[in-house]
Amino acid sequence: MTQQRDIHITEVALRDGSHAIAHQYTVEQVTRIAKALDQANVPYIEVSHGDGLGGSSLQYGLSRTNELELIEAAVSVCKQAKVAVLLLPGIGTMKELKQAARIGAKMARIATHVTEADVSAQHIALAKELGLETVGFLMMAHMAPVEKLVEQAKLMESYGADTVYVVDSAGALLPQEVRERIRALRQSVSANIGFHGHNNLSLAMANTLAAIEEGATRIDGSVRCLGAGAGNTQTEVLVAVLDRMGIETGIDLYKMMDLAEEMVAPILQAPQEITRDSLVLGYAGVYSSFLLHARRAAKKFGIDSRDILVELGKRKVVGGQEDMIVDVAAEIAKKKLKSVAH
């Protein structure tokens, strides 16, 4: 039987969900959703471009609205929830982190590839200096052996991270692999341990529960599954499941169900389901936010987006290498032309 434990949920639909709607959030949408999440007693609400502070660009996708306006809008309606921001060193800068803190963000999640924690040192230090709750976010966690993950988590903890996350950016981890990683971190670091799942192999909930059973206490969810790829662990479902397990989150389940149905569902361009493309993301172990980029490239070159994603997986392409997607698509199209000519 699972013991009672303190689980803190961070709602990521206003950040990770930005990928699913091509970064087209409006101030009005963010204000309404953040207010409803706050009223449902969600403790943390992450608001940023899908690729974090400073992500609005041709490479990652241009935002419809300046993200600082979105962050400010969320802060203005949150009475109890803390607004969190994501920052990927190299995309976001110290300046943007300072701006986010100035307008009321209370948590900074500093994200790096699973083997590159060393690039987060100054950003984690600055976040602490600014008085922010600070999280180290180890992305694409399936791409490193457990020992490497532990080593990198220790680095983030040594820089001052209050929490270190195992981030299954590709939705590629299996429940046993999540267990091994969370267990190893729990034995090696004293920081809080978090888990961020994606549903590309339909395992986000199973993986999240495996993480909680092994001692993760900081958990990400996205309402109505609104996130990159096939979305994240669905927050309102997670709240219901944890309630059934006797684990208290403090979140109002009915309010979560209502806002999912009435506010978030109408924003979705298509239902968050496991399509052939998002399934291939999990299968090939490819960054979930590559999905829209791969579809566009496939259309442009007249090829199958699955071929692009599988090839990206073989090449172990990671977040920040979005420019490779078009290169790979062009190569596949060229090969296809050659084989037709022969």
**Residue 55, domain CATH:** 3.20.20.70
- Report the pLDDT value the prediction gives residue 3, as an integer from 0 to 100: 46
Q: Are the CB atoms for 19 and 49 separated by under 8 Å? A: no
- Inside any domain, residue 200: yes
Query: How would DSSP label each residue in 178-240?
Result: HHHHHHHHHHH--SEEEEE-B-TTS-HHHHHHHHHHTT--EEEEBGGG-SSTT-B-BHHHHHH
Most confidently predicted of 14-23, 101-110, 314-323 = 101-110
Per-residue pLDDT reduced to its tens digit, 89-144: 999 999 999 999 999 999 999 999 999 999 999 999 999 999 999 999 999 999 99
Does the annotation list 15 as a binding residue? Answer: yes
- Inside any domain, residue 277: no
Per-residue pLDDT reduced to its tens digit, 243-294: 999 999 999 999 999 999 999 999 998 888 999 988 999 999 998 888 888 9
Please indicate, yes or no, whether residues 258 and 305 belong to a single structural domain of this protein: no
Does the annotation list 202 as a binding residue? Answer: no
Please indicate, yes or no, whether residues 309 and 255 belong to a single structural domain of this protein: no
Total number of domains constituting the chain? 2
Does the annotation list 196 as a binding residue? Answer: yes
Active site residue 19: yes
CA count, 13 A, side-chain hemisphere, 118: 3
Please report, rounded to a whole number, the percentage of residues in the chain having pLDDT higher than 70. 96
Please indicate, yes or no, whether residues 117 and 206 belong to a single structural domain of this protein: yes
Please indicate, yes or no, whether residues 249 and 294 belong to a single structural domain of this protein: no
Does the annotation list 23 as a binding residue? Answer: no
Does the annotation list 198 as a binding residue? Answer: yes
Residue span of the structural domain in which 75 resides: 8-267
- Inside any domain, residue 275: no
Please indicate, yes or no, whether residues 198 and 335 belong to a single structural domain of this protein: no
Q: Of the residues 8, 19, 123, 342, which is catalytic?
A: 19
- Inside any domain, residue 279: no
Name, in order, each residue with C-beta under 8 angstroms of 175's C-beta and a sequence gap of 6 or more: 203, 206, 207, 210
Torsion of CA 102, 103, 109, 113, to 10 degrees: -80
Does the annotation list 276 as a binding residue? Answer: no
Region 327-332 average pLDDT? 96
For the entire predicted model, the pTM comes to: 0.93
Please indicate, yes or no, whether residues 161 and 261 belong to a single structural domain of this protein: yes
- Inside any domain, residue 280: no
- Report the pLDDT value the prediction gives residue 289, as an integer from 0 to 100: 80
Instruction: Give Dmax (Cα) for the chain.
Output: 66
- Report the pLDDT value the prediction gives residue 56, as an integer from 0 to 100: 62
- Inside any domain, residue 70: yes
Please indicate, yes or no, whether residues 217 and 323 belong to a single structural domain of this protein: no
CATH code of the domain covering residue 323? 1.10.8.60
Please indicate, yes or no, whether residues 220 and 306 belong to a single structural domain of this protein: no
**What is the rounded distance in angstroms from the CA atom of residue 143 to the CA atom of residue 152?**
13
> Mean pLDDT over all residues of the chain?
93
Please indicate, yes or no, whether residues 170 and 300 belong to a single structural domain of this protein: no
- Report the pLDDT value the prediction gives residue 271, as an integer from 0 to 100: 86
Please indicate, yes or no, whether residues 234 and 88 belong to a single structural domain of this protein: yes
- Inside any domain, residue 272: no
Please indicate, yes or no, whether residues 253 and 315 belong to a single structural domain of this protein: no
- Inside any domain, residue 281: no
Does 33 score more than 50 pLDDT?
yes
Out of 237, 267, 297, a domain closes at 267
Please indicate, yes or no, whether residues 158 and 206 belong to a single structural domain of this protein: yes
Band of pLDDT at residue 60, cut at 50, 70 and 90 = low
- Report the pLDDT value the prediction gives residue 288, as an integer from 0 to 100: 82
Q: Are the CB atoms for 64 and 29 separated by under 8 Å? A: no
**What is the rounded distance in angstroms from the CA atom of residue 308 to the CA atom of residue 159?**
37
